[in-house]
């Protein structure tokens, strides 16, 4: 009597189409022999511990055996459930099984599967056939439980019974476990509805018959998280099995934004969720708006980290991110009477459904105390006796890749009181102070970038940095030791990336742990550190490099100060051998900065140890070599490279601009550009097509109307979608020159005000939009925000101006606001003083969305010019070398008359608050005009006039917009990560096959 084996339906995957399960008639057609039938008829049981040898399995692919299908012939040792695994792998790869034959050959199966792709065609491509064979071989020869699990889990270690045997009770328990998890979570609308409502009732604890939008969002978010965790487990188990070299990305900031839309798109289930919600009476768009931004970052560096995590997952690299779980992120910006006020951002008030608290993953982090020398194991050792201990508790955030099952991890650390109670304090009744002291520990991860103008602020900032790297290093070393008995291969399996100098104490911590706790020799620890660390700097001027007072570091981390002095001694001795007693050079390059206050130069420490130092654009690397790190470049030119920053097209087009995403896919004939962004170049072939131009303008107008509605909701101001939307959104800073923009707006206003009615008819209407936050202690930036509001009040209420000019300030600018503003923008300004922007990723987000750039030739803009041509941009201002020459000459250029007139309007109180704005005017007229607003003002006005002229000709403007998107491929974070992986980290893709 034959046995029928049930095969669970495989889920649909991103990119890979879903497929029907094999029918029962298909399985009956296999007609197994008597010997084979007897082997299949037994009860399901756990797989034997030993996996078959790879040499026992042979797999061939043949297109000659059948005119309409590809034959996959597999010879493998018989195992229970093997048929299930093979058909499941074929299904996950998007193949359909037309027919199959099975023959027995002793202890082996000989299986032939005739398969076609999702379109019913044979598989002709050699690479695709190799991929199919490798995936099947990995599944058969790997350590997966092929017999019972529909999931790619590694077989758990069995607890031994008497005599090391597994008891019958434990066998049955294992079988039950796997039977319960047999198959992936289903993604059809009915299953999704059930999961959402189950979470509403059992996770959110609300009745499914009475839920609001926020509760529905929570139920949906938890159901999505279930699917992320499912893939996360499979990915991590596969990494553990393969043991590849892993990247650990250390950054104090990750500005992730909202997770819901990005997650369901990367999972490939957006349409299914939208159908499920519609049937439940909810709108996906409304539920998505219920999510707040994860306030874990400050600006461009933080958003860069988030983009790079997305690319690492999508490109299947084995990677982890590490950061801090700030309870209060970057402040909420509130505008009252035009003045910025800061309020705490309670982003965790309603919980965070995307994180998984790992209470069992915690590490003790030590501070203060003394260092003693003890004799251990026949040698003298340094022992750090801490004065304070804090617990670091892990919170995991799964990061899904697009078009892959790989889901990597962002682990954030939260500070908790130590579990070691001071019993003496409790015994003496002083338990109140004991509790207060321990609660102080939680402040370490409370605030993003505490104010470090005071000693207490500097100490808290240093505590944050060390707390973060200590927990991360302990976690990395623990994970390595789980699979390796010695540190001989540590540098072959681990790469650590320092995102700026904030995590640079990780260098010292690795050496300390290896020497003091793992008892490696100094040379062994030093060689490991020099091979595993790489460093990316975002600084453009030496004055901006991070320094830590020696006294502060010695008090908080006494052992680390000793190690830094040891490193510096060895380094300066090497310098003496190379350059002799050049004391000026020794002083500049020393890790220890002498002076009234001794400091540790964290950048110098990073360069000395790291094997690779990266700038973030071609121009930035030139600045590093010629100015910021000139001495180090002369010593180690081979260390210095650049990896131009990039942004992820998944977040900044697929999520934020779905209309443009669909349009691009239509005209390219494929959605493969979402992973292979260079395919965008194909748009150039259609740029003259009138139909594309019309559809392009239609998509852009829809986005502008959406932005119009947002502006009205946020500010009460009604603006026309027919106007040019001129946008500058970024952190408020003097070098970013929002002041130049505002002064240009005043000039435009003054010109329109003095025009005749007939002349005003020829004016291109503009809606000028500015957004961004000023640092709490940055008074000049706050004055710029107030000036923007004062000018806006005057212009927006002037009946002579009407809709010809509006000035809008968008408060509390964040990632979610950017996702709405960027797709609706016509012109985007990136006008930093040349030489002050290391890269600039904001321009890339606008570029890929077809927004035209008005920019100075700074940072990555120089490379954008190379890709799309200066004729498709509006370039203004002095070049980098011209800025340097003017500053060396020390002569302040004479201000143009147009600017003098505008400044006089501000000084004379035309916009009110003349005394408050006086320092802004003085910075240009009296203080040397360091940021060269006066020099660049005429060029800036010319660029604005050129933009007006181009906007009048909508066909020309549309072509420029299409060409901007077409040329944006280089500025994908996928390209950046690919460069890092090949040239810096030495890691390779490790794609989970299931």
622-655 residue pLDDT tens? 999 999 999 999 999 999 999 999 999 999 999 9
Question: What is the percent of the chain with per-residue pLDDT over 90, rounded to a whole number?
Answer: 71
Residue 495 has phi, psi (to 5 degrees) of -130, 130
pLDDT value of position 733: 96
Closest CA to 925 of 941, 910, 903: 903
Give the relative orientation of helices 690-715 and 954-966 as an angle to the nearest 10 degrees.
90
Of 102-116, 430-444, 959-973, minimum mean pLDDT range: 430-444
pLDDT value of position 81: 67
Residue 31 confidence (pLDDT) above 70: no
* Average pLDDT rounded to a whole number, residues 143-155: 36
Mean model confidence pLDDT for the chain: 87
pLDDT value of position 279: 94
Residue 105 confidence (pLDDT) above 50: yes
| pLDDT tens track for 496-541 | 999 999 999 999 999 999 999 999 999 999 999 999 999 999 999 9
Handedness of CA 365, 367, 373, 374 (dihedral sign): negative
pLDDT value of position 432: 66
Residue that wins the pLDDT comparison between 121 and 573: 573
* 3-class secondary structure, 62: strand
Indicate the pTM of the whole model.
0.84
**Rounded to 10 degrees, what is the CA torsion of 738, 740, 744, 749?**
60
Residue 145 confidence (pLDDT) above 70: no
Give the residue numbers marked as catalytic. 538, 730-731, 736, 841, 845
| pLDDT tens track for 407-452 | 999 999 999 987 654 444 445 556 666 666 667 788 898 888 776 7
pLDDT value of position 167: 56
| Under 8 Å between Cβ of 221 and 261 | no
pLDDT value of position 849: 98
Instruction: Provide the pLDDT confidence category of residue 129 given band limits of 50, 70 and 90.
Output: confident
* Average pLDDT rounded to a whole number, residues 5-18: 31
Residue 160 confidence (pLDDT) above 60: no
CA distances from 691 to 696, 697, 703 (A): 8, 10, 19
Euclidean distance between the first and final Cα of the chain, in Å?
33
pLDDT value of position 913: 95
| pLDDT tens track for 593-616 | 999 999 999 999 999 999 999 999
Residue 404 confidence (pLDDT) above 50: yes
Residue 266 confidence (pLDDT) above 70: yes
* Average pLDDT rounded to a whole number, residues 128-156: 59
Q: Write out the DSSP string of 527-579.
A: HHHHHHEEEE----SGGGS-EEEHHHHHHH-HHHHHHHHHHHHHHHHHHHHHH
Residue 479 confidence (pLDDT) above 90: yes
| pLDDT tens track for 350-371 | 899 999 999 999 999 999 999 9
Residue that wins the pLDDT comparison between 945 and 41: 945
Task: Mention every residue, 6+ apart, whose C-beta is less than 8 A from residue 193.
Answer: 276, 279, 280
Of 416-425, 483-492, 895-904, minimum mean pLDDT range: 416-425
Closest CA to 946 of 860, 861, 814, 854: 854
pLDDT value of position 659: 97
Instruction: Provide the pLDDT confidence category of residue 171 given band limits of 50, 70 and 90.
Output: low
Identity of the highest mean pLDDT range in 114-118, 442-446, 819-823 = 819-823
Q: Please give the structure tokens belonging to residue 618.
A: 């071609």
Instruction: Provide the pLDDT confidence category of residue 880 given band limits of 50, 70 and 90.
Output: very high
pLDDT value of position 440: 76
CA distance 298 to 768: 24
Residue 30 confidence (pLDDT) above 80: no
């Amino acid at each position: 009597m034959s046995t029928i084996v049930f095969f669970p339906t495989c889920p649909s995957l991103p990119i890979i189409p879903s497929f029907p399960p094999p029918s029962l008639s298909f399985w009956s057609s296999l007609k197994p022999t008597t010997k084979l039938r007897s082997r299949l008829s037994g009860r399901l049981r756990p797989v034997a511990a030993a996996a078959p040898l790879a040499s026992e399995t042979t797999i061939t692919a043949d297109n000659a055996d059948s005119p309409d299908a590809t034959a996959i012939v597999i010879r493998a040792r018989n195992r229970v459930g093997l048929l299930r695994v093979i058909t499941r792998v074929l299904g996950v790869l998007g193949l359909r099984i037309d027919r199959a034959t099975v023959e027995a050959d002793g202890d082996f199966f000989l299986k032939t599967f005739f398969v076609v792709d999702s379109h019913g065609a044979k598989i002709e491509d050699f690479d695709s056939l190799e991929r199919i064979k490798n995936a099947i071989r990995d599944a058969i020869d790997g350590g997966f439980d092929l017999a019972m699990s529909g999931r790619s889990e590694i077989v758990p270690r069995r607890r031994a019974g008497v005599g090391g045997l597994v008891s019958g009770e434990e066998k049955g328990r294992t079988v039950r476990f796997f039977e319960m998890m047999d198959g992936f979570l289903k993604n059809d609308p009915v299953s999704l509805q059930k999961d959402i409502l189950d979470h509403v009732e059992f996770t959110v604890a609300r009745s499914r018959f009475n839920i609001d939008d926020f509760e529905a969002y929570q139920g949906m978010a938890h159901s999505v998280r279930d699917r992320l965790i499912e893939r996360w487990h499979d990915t991590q188990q596969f990494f553990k099995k393969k043991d590849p070299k892993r990247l650990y990305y250390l950054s104090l900031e990750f500005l992730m934004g909202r997770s819901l839309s990005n997650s369901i798109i990367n999972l490939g289930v957006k349409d299914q969720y939208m159908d499920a919600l519609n049937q439940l009476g909810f709108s996906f768009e409304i539920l998505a708006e219920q999510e707040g931004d994860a306030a874990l970052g400050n600006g461009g560096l933080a958003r860069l980290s988030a983009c790079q995590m997305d690319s690492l997952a999508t490109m299947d690299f084995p990677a982890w991110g590490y950061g801090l779980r700030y309870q209060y992120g970057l402040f909420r910006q509130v505008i009252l009477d035009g003045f910025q006020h800061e309020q705490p951002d309670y982003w965790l008030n309603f919980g965070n459904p995307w994180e998984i608290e790992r209470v069992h993953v915690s590490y003790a982090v030590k501070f203060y105390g003394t260092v003693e020398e003890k004799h251990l194991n026949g040698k003298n050792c340094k022992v750090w006796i801490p004065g304070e201990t804090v617990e670091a508790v892990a919170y995991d955030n799964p990061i899904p890749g697009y078009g892959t099952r790989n889901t990597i991890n962002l682990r954030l650390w939260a500070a908790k009181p130590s579990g070691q109670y001071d019993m003496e304090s409790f015994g003496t009744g002083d338990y109140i102070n004991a509790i207060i002291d321990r609660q102080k520990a939680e402040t370490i991860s409370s605030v993003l970038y505490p104010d470090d103008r005071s000693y207490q602020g500097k100490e808290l900032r240093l505590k944050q940095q060390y707390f973060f790297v200590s927990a991360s290093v302990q976690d990395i070393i623990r994970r390595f030791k789980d699979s390796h008995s010695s540190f001989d291969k540590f540098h072959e399996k681990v790469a650590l990336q320092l995102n700026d100098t904030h995590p640079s104490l990780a260098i010292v911590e690795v050496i300390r742990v290896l020497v003091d706790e793992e008892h490696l020799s100094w040379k062994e620890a030093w060689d490991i550190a020099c091979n595993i660390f790489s460093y990316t700097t975002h600084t453009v001027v030496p004055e901006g490099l991070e320094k830590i007072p020696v006294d502060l570091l010695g008090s908080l981390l006494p052992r680390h100060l000793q190690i830094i002095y040891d490193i510096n001694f060895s380094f300066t001795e090497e310098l003496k051998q190379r350059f002799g007693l050049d004391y000026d050079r020794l002083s500049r390059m020393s890790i220890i900065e002498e002076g009234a206050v001794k400091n540790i130069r964290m950048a110098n420490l990073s360069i000395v140890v790291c094997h690779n130092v990266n700038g973030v654009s071609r121009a930035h690397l030139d600045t590093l070599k010629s100015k910021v790190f000139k001495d180090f470049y002369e010593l180690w030119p081979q260390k210095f490279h650049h990896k131009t920053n990039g942004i992820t097209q998944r977040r900044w087009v697929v999520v934020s601009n779905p209309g443009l995403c669909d349009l691009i896919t239509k005209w390219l004939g494929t959605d493969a550009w979402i992973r292979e962004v260079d395919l965008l170049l194909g748009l150039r072939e259609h740029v003259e097509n009138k139909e594309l131009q019309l559809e392009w303008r239609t998509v852009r107008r829809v986005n502008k109307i959406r932005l119009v509605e947002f502006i009205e909701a946020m500010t009460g101001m009604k603006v026309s979608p027919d106007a040019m939307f001129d946008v500058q959104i970024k952190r408020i800073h003097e070098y970013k020159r929002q002041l130049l923009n505002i002064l240009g707006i005043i000039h435009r206003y003054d010109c329109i005000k003095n025009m005749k009615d007939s002349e005003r008819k020829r004016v291109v209407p503009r809606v000028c939009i500015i957004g961004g936050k000023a640092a709490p202690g940055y008074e000049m930036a706050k004055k710029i925000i107030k000036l923007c509001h004062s000018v806006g009040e005057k212009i927006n209420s002037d009946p002579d101006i009407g809709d010809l000019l509006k000035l809008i300030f968008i408060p509390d600018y964040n990632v979610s606001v950017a996702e709405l503003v960027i797709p609706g923008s016509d012109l985007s300004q990136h006008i930093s003083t040349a030489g002050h922007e290391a890269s600039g990723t904001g321009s890339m987000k606008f570029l890929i969305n077809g927004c035209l750039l008005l920019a100075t030739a700074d940072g990555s803009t120089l490379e954008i010019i190379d890709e799309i041509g200066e004729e498709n941009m509006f370039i203004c201002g002095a070049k980098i070398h011209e800025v340097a020459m003017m500053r060396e000459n020390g002569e302040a250029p004479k201000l143009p008359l147009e600017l003098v007139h505008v400044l006089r309007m501000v000084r004379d109180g035309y916009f009110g608050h003349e005394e408050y704005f006086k320092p802004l005017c003085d910075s240009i007229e009296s203080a040397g005009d360091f940021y060269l607003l006066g020099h660049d003002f005429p060029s800036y006005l010319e660029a604005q006039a050129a933009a007006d002229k181009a906007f009048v000709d909508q066909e020309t403007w549309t072509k420029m917009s299409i060409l901007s998107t077409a040329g944006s491929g280089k500025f994908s974070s996928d390209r950046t990560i690919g460069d890092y992986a090949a040239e810096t980290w030495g890691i390779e893709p490790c794609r989970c096959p299931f």
